[in-house]
Amino acid sequence: MTPDAHDRGVALISHVPQVVSSIMARRFIDAPNDALGLAGQGVRDVTRVAASDPDLWVQILGANAAPVRDILLAYRDDLDRFIDALADPAAPGARRRVAEELTGGNTGVERLPGKHGTDKRFTTIVVMVDDRPGQLARLLAEIGEIGVNLEDLRLEHSPGRQVGLAEVQVVPEAADRLTTELAARGWRIAG
């Protein structure tokens, strides 16, 4: 990878997501507490990196300003198309535009490499986990007892909720067996 290609790459994969996350989180400054109380895992995922050190990011963004600016300009164009579609959702083509943008996001996420940078894709099984001490540890231990390697794990749990969701990623050929075995052990599988 050339230095220019690297700068464009990190602008797309790291620097612009930092900016977008920070701008999104900035919307919360004056938000009513009732609205913030509705926050779930999705908004936490989108804004997690917004908690990064601003001084460090001022330096990073200053050193790679041109590629970041180019991507942000394209992002603004994407956002403008989305905003225009939402201005009149009943207008001809508006719903299609929104669907195309959302589908484009799905396609983009599918292109991200898997574990350790490989192209291998995994199957996600969503398991409901009661909000009680030891339940997540029990789930992980039982996955090990079943003999399935856990490729990745993502937790979704909002404060005050009685149940969290464990998104367990495994190789596709192990998914049916794991789902069946976990259900037989009393775990509730979502979806």
DSSP string, 69-129: HHHHHHHHHHHHHHHHHHHSTTSTTHHHHHHHHHHHHHHHHHTS--GGG-S---EEEEEEE
CB contact at 8 A, 155 and 42: no
pLDDT for 40: 84
Domain residues for the domain of 184 are 117-190
What mean pLDDT comes out for the span 100-122?
79
Provide the residue type at 67 as one letter.
P
Helix 94-110, helix 65-87: angle, nearest 10: 140
What is the mean predicted confidence (pLDDT) over 6-15?
A: 96
pLDDT band at 159 (very low <50, low <70, confident <90, very high): confident
Better-predicted residue by pLDDT, 41 or 24: 24
pLDDT of residue 106: 87
Phi, psi of 111 (to 5 degrees): -80, -15
pLDDT at site 76? 97
Residues 41 and 56 in one domain: yes
Q: What is the pTM of this model?
A: 0.69
pLDDT of residue 154: 87
Angle formed by the axes of helices 54-63 and 16-26, nearest 10°: 140
* Separation CA 127–CA 189 (nearest Å): 5
Residue with the bigger pLDDT between 7 and 119: it is 7
Q: Is the pLDDT of residue 191 over 80?
A: no
Mean pLDDT confidence for 83-87: 96
CATH assignment of the domain containing 142: 3.30.70.260
What pLDDT is recorded for position 34?
Answer: 93
Q: CATH number for the domain including 40?
A: 1.10.3660.10
Asked if pLDDT for residue 117 goes beyond 90, the answer is: no
- Tell me: do 45 and 130 sit in the same domain: no
Q: Which of residues 86, 110, 134 is at a domain's end?
A: 110
Q: Residue 125's closest CA among 66, 187, 175?
A: 175
* 33/84 same-domain check: yes
